Amino acid sequence: MKSRKNMTGKILIVDDEKDMLTLLTRIITEKTDYEVVTSHDPLKAIEILKEQSVNLVITDLKMPRMNGIALLDQVKKIQPTAAVVVMTAYATIETAVEATRKGAFDYIAKPFRKERILLTIDNAMKWQSLTLENSALLKSLKQQKKFTSIIGSSPAITSILKKIEQVAQSSATVLICGKSGTGKELVAKAIHHHSHRNDKPFVTINCAAMPEQIIESELFGHVKGAFTGAWKDKKGLVEEANSGTLFFDEIGELSMVMQTKLLRLLQEAEYKPVGGLVTKYIDIRFLAATNQNLTKLIAEKQFREDLFYRINVINFHIPPLRDRREDIPVLAHHFLEKYTMLNKKKINRIDPEVMSVLMTQKWPGNVRELENVIERGVVFCRSDDIKLSDIFPEKPLEPVSLHFDRSIYDLPFKEAKENVIKTFHQSYILSILEQSKGNISRAAEQAGLQRQYLHRLIKEENIDVETFRDSENM
């Protein structure tokens, strides 16, 4: 039988016979790396379950104070994902059926052979590991379904998703800050989608793209004859967004005159169409975004301070892609799926060498730039894998190495070393997961690591394994 010395986990053994506890402890610790906790009292075992997380419970059926079936019920209430194996010297079909019906993984008759108990433990621990992985996958899929447009698993993105849930149901004005291409509009749309206005219009006004001479008319509308060319009344974006959400993209580009008019709209919830005499009232949720430093613009007298405080009730900061590199593989695979479908191509994966290059780029254009690179790779790809020549067809590349910012040399040695190790962990783990198509066991074997240790590294680096798995592995 294959050695189990590379497996870790915790097993709780419950039996009123202390000799049996000693025997099982010796068998398990000699052949595996599992940590063993024992109790001769099922009531004390319940207290252990409340205080410690375990992977497997092995319990005797006949015990004073509480039998194994009753303990099984308690295990499923306290730690639903723990596997349970029931042992007894009084085996009957009825008790076996009852134990499995209540959720026991297996049922073993005493006396048992050493290999029989080890095989059962091996299978139970594998089942429990799969249960945890499936639970994590379902949770991840549920979260992705809620925010289908916001892709990423980094702490920064996870924090933003939680914040969206918190503020979406309020009526507070939100200011979303971040560099171009980071996904500010996606955050605005997610806030609207999860608000009570989600069945009402979401209207965007691009303050940077709209000429100053027409922006007032576009925003507030106009009446017939208000100016040359106003042949009829026109409804503005404010009226279109009534009862819904109005999103001011790149609000820092608004002129001071328009900022004054916008301030009145936000404060009084009223406006007049250009050339009109009748005041109109609206019910709108206001969201705004900018890639500029509004505080600096205020100091330079280019942005109204009172408008800033009016829109900055709740602030979101979307970090640039270079500050959340762990999201790059997730985003890259998302865009790969998107553009293979749009271009009707069958491309299985992104070559690990390509992923290494993607992980070391500065990405001044952020997520938008990464999306363009992957789309280009899909267009030029003529095989099952996207290669370097596909994403950079006109640009010869130098060999890729881990990139460390020069500022690392200003840090104390210990902190600098931790940063280097973290960067190496991310790059190396992403590469082996890419090669194994998300199969953690295969990746661990390839790397010469214990599976449990690799699993811990993946969790520490917030890497979403599911993005590496194709349909064949699902």
3-state percent helix, strand, coil for the chain, nearest multiple of 5 = 50, 15, 35
- Segment 282-288 shows an average pLDDT of 94
Quick one: pLDDT band at residue 221, thresholds 50, 70, 90?
Answer: confident
pLDDT at residue 375 is higher than 60: yes
The beta strands (E) that lie in 49-192 are given as 56-60, 83-88, 106-109, 174-178
- Segment 242-265 shows an average pLDDT of 93
Lowest mean pLDDT among 83-97, 212-226, 345-359: 83-97
Counted residue by residue, the chain has a size of 474
Question: What pLDDT is attached to residue 358?
Answer: 86
Q: What does residue 15 show for φ and ψ, rounded to 5 degrees?
A: -160, 135
Q: Residue 407 corresponds to which tokens in the numbers above?
A: 């500022």
Q: Are the beta carbons of 273 and 208 closer than 8 angstroms?
A: no
pTM over 0.85: no
Helix axes 42-51 and 68-78, enclosed angle (nearest 10): 10
**Sheet containing 83-88, strands listed edge to edge, beginning at the edge strand earlier in sequence:** 35-39, 10-14, 56-60, 83-88, 106-109
Give 398's DSSP letter. Answer: P
Question: What pLDDT is attached to residue 469?
Answer: 67
- Segment 295-318 shows an average pLDDT of 95
| Distance from C-alpha of 368 to C-alpha of 281, rounded to nearest angstrom | 37
Amino acid in the structure at residue 256: M
- Segment 188-198 shows an average pLDDT of 92
pLDDT at residue 251 is higher than 80: yes
> What is the separation, in whole angstroms, between the first and last Cα of the chain?
28
Helix (H) or strand (E) run with residue 38 in it: strand 35-39
| Distance from C-alpha of 164 to C-alpha of 169, rounded to nearest angstrom | 9
Question: What pLDDT is attached to residue 417?
Answer: 66
**Please, what are the domains in the chain?**
10-139 (3.40.50.2300), 155-319 (3.40.50.300), 323-468 (1.10.8.60)
Quick one: pLDDT band at residue 370, thresholds 50, 70, 90?
Answer: very high
Handedness of CA 290, 291, 296, 300 (dihedral sign): negative
Bridge partners of 289, per DSSP, are 176
| Distance from C-alpha of 12 to C-alpha of 18, rounded to nearest angstrom | 14
pLDDT at residue 422 is higher than 80: no
62 in helix, strand or coil? coil
